[in-house]
């Protein structure tokens, strides 16, 4: 079963539980928010990664990722000139089946994806927690600044998304994590990525400032 969903192509990957603030200034996205505000809660749109192209401009996104995440509206602050500042939270993943270009903003026929634990996630989850603590320690030691305390959650699905949102990775790696079929597969991928990043951090004296977790993940 599919559902029609407004789409917001972005050059970043949204995960379930991740807080995403946005400043909207393009006419098409002002229209999108206006249309959403006419609907009952919960209100949301689909964030989908741009694989080819860029964000600004109606025809700028030439190829979109197959899997995205719903961004649920939590706060909307309108400006007098029509711009919006919004705060959203990632909720459900979806697979994009078909595009609809009949409105100023994109819409898509989407199929929502289940959130499965997978087969026996506990051993790999324990390993990922240990590697994640080492990763954050090495980030701090390498010059990333003070690391806020994060207690990795027990639930393997939530844990897999906390780790995915926290890692400093390129968009392709992030997208692959979003697309994993279940939490066990995602955690196994994160185990390998964390082992790789820890090896890199172990030999680098300093690292450039990056996209570090700043409390913007909220399990929900």
Task: Please state which of the four CATH numbers 2.40.170.20, 3.30.1330.40, 2.60.120.380, 2.30.130.40 is assigned to the domain occupying 3-112.
Answer: 2.30.130.40
- The pairing of beta strand 44-53 with beta strand 67-78: antiparallel
Pairwise CA distance, residues 89 & 83, whole Å: 20
- The string of DSSP letters for 107-176 reads EEEEEEPP-B--S--HHHHHHHHHHHHHHHHHHHHTT--PPPP----SSHHHHHHHHHHHS---HHHHHH
Per-residue pLDDT tens over the stretch 111-148: 999 999 999 999 999 999 999 999 998 888 777 666 67
**What is the mean pLDDT of the segment spanning 80-89?**
96
DSSP state of 179: H
- The answer to whether residue 105 scores a pLDDT higher than 90 is yes
Per-residue pLDDT tens over the stretch 13-26: 999 999 999 999 99
User: What pLDDT score does 186 carry?
Assistant: 98
- The answer to whether residue 220 scores a pLDDT higher than 70 is no
**Is 122-203 the same fold as 3-112?**
no
Domain ranges within the chain, ordered by starting residue: 3-112, 122-203
Task: Look up residue 187 and give its two tokens.
Answer: 């955690």
Locus of tokens 């969903």: 5
Q: Which residues partner with 90 through β-bridges? A: 71
Class of domain 122-203: mainly alpha
- The answer to whether residue 150 scores a pLDDT higher than 60 is yes
User: Which one, of 214, 199, 217, 89, lies nearest residue 160 by Cα?
Assistant: 217
User: What pLDDT score does 146 carry?
Assistant: 62
Q: Tell me the pLDDT band of 61, cut-offs 50, 70 and 90.
A: low
């Amino acid at each position: 079963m599919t559902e029609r969903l407004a789409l917001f192509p972005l050059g970043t990957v949204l995960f379930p539980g991740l807080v995403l603030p946005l400043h909207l200034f393009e006419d098409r996205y002002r229209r999108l928010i206006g249309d959403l505000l006419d609907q009952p809660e919960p209100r949301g749109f689909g964030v989908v990664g741009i694989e080819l192209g860029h964000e600004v401009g109606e025809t700028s996104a030439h190829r979109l990722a197959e899997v995205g995440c719903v961004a649920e509206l939590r706060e909307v602050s309108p400006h007098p000139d029509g711009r919006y500042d919004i705060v959203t939270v990632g909720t459900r993943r979806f697979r994009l089946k078909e595009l609809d270009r009949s409105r100023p903003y994109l819409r898509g026929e989407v199929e929502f994806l289940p959130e499965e634990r997978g087969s026996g996630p506990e051993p790999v989850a324990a390993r990922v927690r240990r590697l994640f603590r080492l990763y954050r320690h090495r980030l701090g030691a390498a010059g990333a600044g003070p690391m806020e305390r994060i207690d990795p959650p027990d639930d393997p699905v939530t844990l897999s998304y906390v780790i995915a949102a926290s890692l400093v990775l390129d968009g392709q790696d992030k997208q692959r994590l979003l697309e994993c079929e279940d939490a066990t597969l995602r955690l196994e991928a994160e185990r390998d990525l964390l082992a790789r990043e820890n090896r890199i951090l172990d030999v680098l004296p300093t690292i450039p400032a990056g996209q570090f977790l700043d409390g913007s993940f909220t399990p929900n």
